[in-house]
Amino acid sequence: MSTLLQIDGLRTVFDTSEGEAVAVDGLELSIAQGETVGIVGESGCGKSVTALSVMRLIQSPPGRIAAGRILFEGRDLLALNEKQMRSVRGNEIAMVFQEPMTSLNPVFPVGAQVGEALRIHRGLGRAEAEREAVRMLKLVEIPEAAARARDYPHQLSGGMRQRVMIAMALSCEPKLLIADEPTTALDVTIQAQVLDLLGALKERIGMAVMLITHDLGVVAEQAERVIVMYAGRVVEEGPVDRVLASPVHPYTRGLLASQPALGQEHGELKTIPGMVPRLTELPAGCRFRDRCDRAEPRCSSTDPALTDCGPAHRAACIVTTEEES
């Protein structure tokens, strides 16, 4: 499998009244063709900002991509001009957002919105685009697709709207789909349906998926590889089975330990003490050390880099990776 997306040293910052907030700091990430990579981490760790950075949708001001390269099929997206970037968006890389309620334009029928990308990127006329849109809606298993295409977003349920979003993103058969918490706003039963749909479509089109979520269960089911982020950095990455079964980084261990097991009846839920550091006041050295139960004095002076700790498995912790080897 060849590399589709390669992110090197991405640094995205936001200028706030309290100083510069570094949302993504020196991120390294790669996704191969057809691969599904899950990105997990708690709110504010930089997952969404990473996604928006790849799409170059960071609102500037106050944000900006300060450094790094984002190589997509060998081309550095950050070096493209706006016109070239626009032909990538919605066409080669597409994105599905978290809130289906507010992510669709309330004054246009859904069919028109699904077909819009086709009209720009494939030059289809209005009637043709409408037909294609109906076909896409059928693909995402929306019943009575032709009638639904003329409906407005407010007439559809949350699950249906998310399917519409997926149809919209997939309309030009992108090579990479970025799904930012696609099921977080949905009911659990609908979640499962939408995830299954995503899996099936991914197979059909052969596209890679960057699946962003805070739900480890979703990652376990859908992803082949997982990347764990904390405070703007990757702290662990590897094959999903390995990372979830034998996590190396103390943060990942903490995340997994805090998940209540099925059948667990009493006892306190384990938590990770402390809070995520403020992005404007990031500490030197390892950013997790204040909350880490394995922290040593050298953790505050050295910036841990991602080190091998198994086949295709890396973690950014000096202490635990030493143990593994």
Would you tell me which residues interact with other proteins (CB under 8 A)? 15-17, 55, 57, 61-62, 83, 86-91, 94-95, 97, 99, 102-109, 116-117, 120-121, 152, 154-155, 165, 168
Least separation in angstroms between CB 154 and other proteins: 5
- Closer residue to other proteins (CB): 2 or 59: 59
Query: Greatest CA separation found in the chain?
Result: 67
How far apart are the C-alpha atoms of 312 and 50, rounded to whole Å? 22
**DSSP per-residue letters across 30-48:** EEETT-EEEEE--TTSSHH
Residue 226, SS3 per DSSP: strand
Q: Which of 12, 321 has the CB closer to other proteins?
A: 12
Minimum Å gap between C-beta 183 and other proteins is 16
Q: Which of 153/250 has CB closer to other proteins?
A: 153
Q: Enumerate the β-bridge partners of residue 229.
A: 234
Q: Which is nearer to other proteins, 102 or 302 (CB)?
A: 102
- Compare residues 60 and 300 and give the one whose CB is closer to other proteins: 60
Strand 225-230, strand 36-40: pairing: parallel
Cβ at position 193, least distance to other proteins in Å? 21
Give the span between the Cα atoms of 136 and 111, in whole angstroms: 9
Encoding tokens for residue 299?
A: 């953790």
Minimum distance of other proteins from residue 147's CB (angstroms): 13
Contact of 26 with 9, CB cutoff 8 Å: yes
Residue 17: CB minimum distance to other proteins, A:
4
